Structure 1
């Protein structure tokens, strides 16, 4: 029977399913305004981001006939690499549709895992339509980056780890948000924690959707942003549904605030974090999150940053 929505039970099952395939990332303490907070370092996950969790959970559930057909995914980089890694391990061919302006470090890392890369123009072409066409022509299984129950439940395993590492649910979890797979998955794993999804300024469609009570796409003329991992034109009914039911309220941050968070992560945690992966930390440091109680968790969701940009950020030139 086809499941209609992701569940807390599904997240727990995913945690058991993928535990031997992913890294249990550390929960690192840091001090902010006299409070002890925790950083969940998904930037240290295999592939450099949390995306391996959902990709592995999805691909492990393919049957043998589906594995022979291969998979196709669309992503600016982190989901691409996660799918590529999971596919290589399971002997499945993978095609990844990536925007032509995706950071070179992400394109190269995905190709190095053996995936075929198809580039598209983010401003003029529809990545979903391209993936659908490839699927129709080749029979490959489409593996969405967030609009998929198994993907969401796989991403939520980060929340299971947080609960186990703290031996409790934290009062608040602040999460970078593109399509909302990670934030909604964690919301399912931690039903007693407040969840705050954070997006790039001008790409805050989840925040606006939650405010209006219905899905609202990113508007025309959305500004350029270095938080490329979070550039999602419209969120999923699955992810929106979970977060809306929880009463979540989204926030947004600027590129400059993300850069400041990247510097903070390097200086205080000795971690390399990409702009999108630093969005939640940026919201906390900038004071955008109204109340951050002692023991709150900030997700650092990825560390796949272009070396040139990272050097500029650390030097204060970006």
Structure 2
């Protein structure tokens, strides 16, 4: 990967400037804030400025590209649009089409977060739930276009979409001209293609780093092979970047403009979601948290740098939020599931509960397990769900129970 703009690339900064003119309407796209995070400064040893694009009207950056494309197509006489999306592109297309007086039909995977489905309908689109993943959903959408006069709005493999997303890169630079590194999530590559084109034009020395989820990462292999690689299956909590592949167009731009690409695990993403809630008071989806997970990882060093992680979306399904928080708190050992082997007789639960209480921990609930193969007659397991203040507190609780003579294990750490 190199760091100089090439005239051969399919999107130029001039395209982005024209997109900025089309998007000069704050009822469609608003300028989102940048905020310094002193807490993240301490974690990474640099200056961290969060670009809060999750506060955009639709909860993500996607309206930028969608409106840039759809507004031009409507001027050319198109009045119906079709798109495939896991959620954020769906909302962007729906809002853009409605603003332009056009109809839109959005195909979404059957497992798309309900909040995104409801929001897409709320912006005026017809929603069709088909396909177990993005690739299947895309195939259904393209089939629909073949049998109609509608125009297809691709989520990332479209130069007008990329130019629209590039307006965010220009905005990030003007927010913080001295930025050393920008960190951008990658799904299909449209966002980082646009952002990197703007950044490398305005500040060639600024490092552009992409981040993918390990369960959906394809960029490294695509770069190695010189062609887009598509995954048969993706597995990540970050549904906004779970496309399973990039395109030839975005690969060309990434190869030219992006300095590095790192991957982060779902555990790291969950940890970043929780950290942003606690320290920055921001609720973001997994794709957005991936950029913060990247700067916290060992694979990206931003020590003594000014860095902007891009919080690209905030459309986090509330049922998923609960799962993510439980996972992150368990990983920190602020939640434990303790299984204690006991002689099944009166008073034992009270004794162990008292031991836990003496350590200043809160018991959420407790249950008996008697029908377990490894138990002898007259034995049982007590399973406690316990809230702690962290690793040291958790260790102290386990040790206190062991000192009373009861075998105990934290089964949340072994499942």
Q: 2:409 matched to which residue of 1?
A: none
1:128-172 deviation digits (Å, cap 9, x = unpaired): 332222112221000000000000010111111111112x25221
Counterpart of 2:243 (choices 229, 232, 240) is: 232
Q: 2:34 matched to which residue of 1?
A: 27
Instruction: Structure 1: state its 5+ residue gaps.
Output: none
- The answer to whether residue 193 in structure 2 is matched with residue 184 in structure 1 is yes
Higher relative contact order (CA 8 A, sep 6+): 1
Displacement over 4 Å in runs of 4+: none
- The answer to whether residue 222 in structure 2 is matched with residue 209 in structure 1 is yes
Alignment of 1:1-318 (within 5 A): 5-20=10-25, 21-30=28-37, 31=41, 32-64=43-75, 66-68=77-79, 70-123=80-133, 126-166=136-176, 168=177, 170-191=179-200, 192=204, 193-218=206-231, 220=232, 222-246=233-257, 248-291=259-302, 293-315=304-326, 316=329
Cα distance, 1:201–1:113 mapped onto 2, change above 3 Å: same
Q: TM-score, normalized by length of structure 2? A: 0.71
Note the aligned Cα RMSD (angstroms).
Answer: 2.0
Q: Bigger CA drift: 120-129 or 28-37?
A: 120-129
1:12 is paired with a residue whose SS is helix
Q: TM-score, normalized by length of structure 1? A: 0.92
Cα distance, 1:19–1:265 mapped onto 2, change above 3 Å: farther
1 CA distance for matches of 2:275 and 2:102?
Answer: 39
Cα distance, 1:64–1:185 mapped onto 2, change above 3 Å: closer
Shift of 1:122: 2.5
1:261-299 deviation digits (Å, cap 9, x = unpaired): 111111221111011221111111123213455211100
Check the 8 A contact 2:85/2:134 in 1, yes or no: no
Check the 8 A contact 1:25/1:44 in 2, yes or no: yes
Larger Cα-atom Rg: 2
Q: 2:394 matched to which residue of 1?
A: none
Check the 8 A contact 2:156/2:189 in 1, yes or no: yes
Q: How many residues align?
A: 312
1:198-225 deviation digits (Å, cap 9, x = unpaired): 111131112321244332222x3x4522
Shift of 1:183: 0.7
